[in-house]
Amino acid sequence: MPRPLLILAVAAGLGLILSTGCAGSRSGVRGVASSSLAPDDVAQHPNPNAPYMLPGSTPRLIPRATALEARDAGPCDPDVLSVDEIAGNSNGSLRSVKLAFMNRGATPCRLGGYPRIALLGPDGQSIGSIAMEKVSSAEVIAELSKGQPESPGAASPSVTLLPHAVAAFQVVWTSGATCSAVSRILVTAPGTEQTFAIVQPMKICAGRIQVTELRLDEGDV
């Protein structure tokens, strides 16, 4: 083949190879692009490795109890109650601890009256020589403040506890270094037989403790 024709043939072949390679490259780019997600599609195709929440575990609002539910509330099931210490006070040798029942159920319930109290010594044995005296909250406030008791008004026979509401009462005693040692207070809600134990190391004198009626907690002590 004459040299000029050979040069033209080689040039044509190189041009064909280059054009085929470019076309292949463009095809490869289109393949990648077709498997990627457009911005509007990202929400429809989440990252499979990203954390997620199951539909059943999505937080949801719990409706508030209605006035009708509160009016028709029955006695509190002891299984939905818990007892915690929420405050304490002292004046000289006089001591008090404020305990509260909380309704941990989903519906309103009623609770009222005086909780039953028992005391356990450091050895876990019941202390039976200490009497329980029922007093009003106003009397206790007066004792702790050394003032005159205010008129307590008519004590409500029961209180309605909405979900997570609290009914509080106080236990009052006289303390001294040589008096009976107590490690725990056992609390039983009125009208029930379920007992709750509160760790409360203390010394009790005078052979008695005072217990107030249950009231909705108003933060008075």
pLDDT at 133 over 60: yes
Q: Would you say residue 91 lies in a domain?
A: yes
Q: Would you say residue 47 lies in a domain?
A: no
Mean local confidence (pLDDT), 164-188: 93
Q: Would you say residue 26 lies in a domain?
A: no
| Spatial distance between the Cα atoms of 157 and 215, rounded to a whole number of angstroms | 10
Q: Would you say residue 57 lies in a domain?
A: no
- pLDDT classification of 217: cutoffs 50, 70, 90: confident
Check: CB of residue 210 under 8 Å from CB of residue 171.
yes
Distances in whole angstroms, Cα of residue 92 to Cα of each of 66, 95, 171, 173, 185: 46, 8, 16, 11, 22
Q: Would you say residue 210 lies in a domain?
A: yes
In the chain, how many domains are there?
1
Question: Residue 92: which domain range?
Answer: 67-216
pLDDT at 132 over 50: yes
| Spatial distance between the Cα atoms of 15 and 116, rounded to a whole number of angstroms | 102
Q: Would you say residue 159 lies in a domain?
A: yes
Mean local confidence (pLDDT), 43-66: 49
| Spatial distance between the Cα atoms of 117 and 184, rounded to a whole number of angstroms | 10
- Of 163, 207, 151, give the one whose Cα is nearest residue 182: 207
Q: Would you say residue 30 lies in a domain?
A: no
Q: Would you say residue 204 lies in a domain?
A: yes
Q: What is the pLDDT of residues 11-21, one digit of tens each?
A: 555 555 545 55
| Spatial distance between the Cα atoms of 125 and 140, rounded to a whole number of angstroms | 28
SS (H, E, C) 166-197: EEEEEEEEECCCCCEEEEEEEEECCCCCCEEE
Calculate the average pLDDT of the chain: 75
Check: CB of residue 151 under 8 Å from CB of residue 138.
yes
Check: CB of residue 149 under 8 Å from CB of residue 139.
yes
Model pTM?
0.65
Per the model's pLDDT, the better-predicted residue between 16 and 126 turns out to be 126
pLDDT at 28 over 70: no
3-state SS, residue 73: coil
